[in-house]
Amino acid sequence: MRRVLIVTQSSLCTMLLVGAALFIRTFVNLSASDVGFNPYNVLTARASLQGPSYQDAAQVALLYQRTVEELESLPGVEAAAVTNNLPVDRGLNLVLTLVADIAIEPAAIDWRYVTPDYLRVLDIPLVSGRSFSSADTRNGTPVAMINEAFVRQFGAAREVIGTHLQLLEYRPELADAPRQIVGVIGDVRTRGVSQTRPTMFVPVAQVPSDLLGVAHSYFQVNWALRTQDGVRGLNLAIDDIIRRADPQLPLTAFRTMDEVISGQLTGPSFQALLLTLFAVGALVLAATGLYGLVSHMVSQQTRDIGIRLALGASSQQVVASFSRQAI
């Protein structure tokens, strides 16, 4: 019975060790995965735009334009942009009902608004078509960009540039005009560092006020700046620029994109650590139990060992006999 218990304990220990090794390998793979953009030298500042004063799309677009222009004038800043959701962070979940001028079964997608230099700041590749520009205003043609995952799921084998898509208006505040697809961008991780969902990007200047209010009620807004290598100490300057533009808009966090990505790895890292600790504990218990079993067998067979040694057995043979049982 003791041997059966030790075998069971060792088997469970092995399972825990294998599980811990798999978790660690998964964590390492996640840490080294390609997120689809260049996070280095990108600084972000986050603020909450909840409330009626930030539901006027024209005023919000003007706020973004003013702050982005001033941020780009800072020494060491190469480009600046604003988005309601950073890469690897979860985006607003909306429902699509028309793709490439073809009606489809309603399907969920990620929806994000951005300012024109968004791709430049995060170094996201433009696969085809064009990016947004300052000409994409409220009076212009409603436009959108989509990612490659969007094309694979909804528009594969069709030319999507120049066609239209439409969101499902299942609530009045989610109403939006049909949008012409003007660009396809490379896939960027949108749900942590391992998932890429079909994503639709729209210029902030063209977002309806009601839809803007919905986005701000769920997510904070992020300013993102691509800086030159080695540039530090921009936090105070960024805070000063945004406070001058709107004294009632406090920044809640400054993070580099590397820190944003690291935050997404906290859960898997903790799980790997926890399972590893359990596995090490099980290994210690199994080793202790095995040692106790062998020690007990030796103590019970002391006379037999003596007789065997007296009859000519070597100490190495005796040790090998118990070692085989332990193995």
Q: Which residues pair with 97 in a beta bridge?
A: none
Q: What is the pLDDT of residue 200?
A: 94
pLDDT, residue 50, reads: 86
Q: Where are the domains of the chain?
A: 2-32+267-326, 42-264
Q: What is the pTM of this model?
A: 0.77
The answer to whether the CB of 203 falls within 8 A of the CB of 30 is no
CA distance 199 to 62: 25
pLDDT band at 27 (very low <50, low <70, confident <90, very high): confident
pLDDT tens digits, 244-279: 999 888 888 899 998 888 887 777 777 777 777 877
Mean pLDDT of 162-190: 91
> pLDDT tens, 46-105?
999 988 888 888 999 999 999 999 999 999 999 999 999 999 888 899 999 988 888 889
Question: Which pLDDT does position 224 carry in this prediction?
Answer: 95
Phi, psi of 19 (to 5 degrees): -60, -40
Pairing, β 102-114 against β 42-47: unpaired
Rounded to a whole number of angstroms, the distance between the first and last alpha carbons of the chain is 17
- Residue with the bigger pLDDT between 194 and 240: it is 240
Please write the tens of the pLDDT for every residue from 76-87. 999 999 999 999
